[in-house]
Chains A and B, each alone.
Chain A
């Protein structure tokens, strides 16, 4: 099936963002708004013996101080935080106890933000602390049984028989998303309903999940999240404060807003958990993989359901006849971890792509050649073909763009003119191509304006631009007069937008709506007169507008999937389908320069070539890759939560001390998108890009550091002291 490629188009919401017209959750004006502030627990675990609110209540402007007594009846449901699954999560402030450092123990609501802060500081809490475990290495860490997550052939036997063997362990630290838009909750009353405004990737959770937790009818709630200032997976579920703020507003019968301070977010919001990765590879002398044994240990909270599941994509990366990956969770007394951009895929690609690099050097095979040699068009786990896999093409094109042929084999053998050690590194990645059901309602007016209401969330990734592209292509509508309503339960049913399935789910719905509208027009005026810009044809037909609604399921999904969508339940499909397995693919090449004296590592350039199916908007897609590479740079060389296990606290809990990359750190990032439609998957030919963007890029940088220095550092971030 042939389908048009999208030309270069500006981001459709660029203008309103530049003008500051795009309103983020906490910016939206609400008359009569009260302000809330939380009091974070000062202990890591134990009981609350007394809360003295008298002084706080006396602060001028304070309206009410809530404690656990006010919230004890909030229900812990599967929608409650805890990383998914069907088990109830953990909601703080339900009981006089503390399960992790920093969880809210009181909520102060006041007429002004200043009064709320002052009131929160005036709340006096007495605790009976109990002993706690803050790290997997401490006594009291609870090890769950090891589970096998993916298997093919007989990996232990094949590994034992392999001629070349590698057995290495890589460590990945705890990381925090830190989206620039703070996490906030506002509960307001509009037309007899409670409207929850929170920057989220999952507005349905704020209608159905909050209702469930508060024992209310979901139909009395709406949730609105039209713009999100970065989500990265931290905004894909109810937050610790969400139900508390809504309940507070209901009790006070006034709208309430809470913007959680960043220092508290480090102890209340989700994060990427610390993980340990043992990779054993058995290979032939030619570098062909015979067996991979991959064991992940991940640090979790006592109560979350967040799985390591780290074998899902790495088992599909190469032709591996014998594969076994296992997961083990180790539970300690912290808040729940959950998804962070390329959640399992980033750490697992880091570990395996570095291990394969080690194998390549051990065998004397070019690391690029090792990857190409192990290419496959069939999923090693299911034996099915991939819907589309152009990884070898990504590797070849990337190598050409990068100038990989200039690489000298020996580590430490390349230098710049001014004496910097030069390293070249390669890493590859994949991310599942999933889809979810979506509903699109499209109305095109004869005056040339149009409105699309659709399932999906815009968090800067370009959702609006992606769905607009399909309307422009099919209907030739005016993008400047197109209104797109999304992320709002009152405009269309909403599905959680995560897992890189957002655009590949919503764009096909938009395309289907556009095609339906076009065919309605043909019915109305005949094929000949229906050509060209659709608004003119509608005008010629003397109709004020045409309107359609479509419900677009993901591939192979039954109609019943819309029941799940309409009740706010997650309903994704993939990456395993009846006929095939589907992934997006990427290859990254990094050049690093290491200063020989003080061992500062710089990354002057990265080349990334991605197979994400058909490109919906080149600018937003390329931005996704650049952003992913920046994240990967941060993971390789900058970011880590510094946890003092004596206190169970994150020591660097602000943006000054949590070391993120700055502009001066980032060199050239050269992105190529293959733009090969995958019409096996959906009518838009689209696969995800936001997550795959960073998968494998950290390994490319780490591998380049090895090539520059000859030092194999098996933890990230690599810091100066690791190379001195």
Chain B
């Protein structure tokens, strides 16, 4: 076992200070459901772990104000089961409850979940010189390109990386224009979630627009009436405990049988959580039928670049969006 130090922070400020002292080989750890896994795989090799799981100041779930506010340390299971979230934002609840397993959701935090790393098998299973990976070892190449690419992204890829963004929750948050609250050595700041995730470009090792030592402290979601008519629809290789092949987070405002406003984001297909703006525009003014939705949904994949085995995600992804529109539209307001 590789040696590392372990510090349990009592306050956020203490955590940031500890990180500053430890240097770049440090990692914050909360639920540990992702980081420990990657440490065992040799993908992450931190020398210092700073445990932020005990920070009470990050555990709150506040649904009373104009925004839903989730402390970064709130557990996935708790947010998924929050009655207000379930009633008014089924999309958020479903994106959490359809992720991982109950055991993992009982440990994992909603802040940590934003930082979950890709499930690209060449990234995960290739440490120690087995597979080249620009994300794991910048400049080493990409084994997924030209390899087994059924699970890889079709949107936002580059010649350096096609790794798919794995999350469900981040997709739902992207659809609802969430804001990520951060703090770090330079103090607190907020980032729209659209700016939080980076495209791989030539630097796929840079995934998040975070500065060294920054911590996610919370997530804020502007309230919207569209929340009640929403769903997170997830298609995967088995009924549970699997990452999305394709997913769609859809929230609708419907007026007189027509979609007035649509929020659509998709997962399983992009190198980052993917907002389907063109689909949203095409849906507006249309009835929420499967036919109308499918036509709009295809637009989400206009710029897609499939590989050898993942072209099916274009059609599947469009059908997933269309089905999600129908499910969301049938929800009671």
Contacts and interface: CB of A to CB of B under 8 A. Distances in A.
Interface stretch (A395-403, A508-516, A641-649): A641-649
Contacts of B147: 644, 646, 651
A651 B235 contact: no
Nearest to A655: B241
Nearest to A646: B147
Interface of A: 42, 114-115, 117-118, 121, 263, 597-600, 602, 638, 642, 644, 646-647, 649, 651-654, 657, 659, 661-665, 719-721, 724
10 contacts: A117-B1, A121-B42, A597-B319, A642-B121, A644-B143, A649-B130, A657-B125, A659-B237, A659-B242, A721-B312
Nearest to B129: A42
A653 B125 contact: yes
A42 B132 CA distance: 13
B316 A642 contact: no
By secondary structure, the A interface counts as loop
B238 A659 contact: yes
Given A597-B322, A662-B240, A642 B148 contact: yes
B239 A664 contact: yes
A720 B235 contact: yes
Interface of B: 1-2, 42, 119, 121-122, 124-125, 128-131, 143, 146-148, 150, 235, 237-242, 245-246, 290, 312, 315-316, 319-320, 322-323
Contacts of B322: 597
By secondary structure, the B interface counts as loop
**Which residue, of B119, B122, B130, has the highest number of chain A Cβ atoms within 10 A?**
B130
Contact of B238 (A263, A598, A638, A649): A638
Instruction: Rank and list the top 10 A-B pairs by shortest CB-CB distance, nearest first.
Output: A721-B312, A114-B1, A664-B239, A664-B240, A651-B121, A665-B239, A597-B319, A662-B240, A598-B235, A659-B237
Contacts, number: 80
A263 B245 CA distance: 23
A597 B1 contact: no
B122 to A, nearest CB: 7
Contact of A118 (B2, B148, B290): B2
Nearest to A114: B1
A653 to B, nearest CB: 6
Contacts of B2: 118, 121
A665 B319 CA distance: 22
A600 B235 contact: yes
Contacts of A599: 316
A664 B148 CA distance: 27
B238 A651 contact: no
A657 B290 CA distance: 32
Nearest to A666: B239
A114 B148 CA distance: 33
B319 A598 contact: yes
Given A646-B146, A653-B125, A654-B125, 13 more contacts: A121-B128, A263-B125, A597-B322, A598-B235, A642-B121, A644-B147, A644-B148, A649-B130, A651-B125, A657-B125, A664-B239, A720-B237, A721-B316
A42 B125 contact: no
A663 B241 CA distance: 10
A602 B245 CA distance: 17
B126 to A, nearest CB: 9
B39 to A, nearest CB: 12
A654 B124 CA distance: 11
Contacts of A638: 237-238
B240 A724 contact: no
**Which residue, of A644, A646, A663, A719, has the highest number of chain B Cβ atoms within 10 A?**
A644
Given A42-B129, A664-B239, A598 B122 contact: no
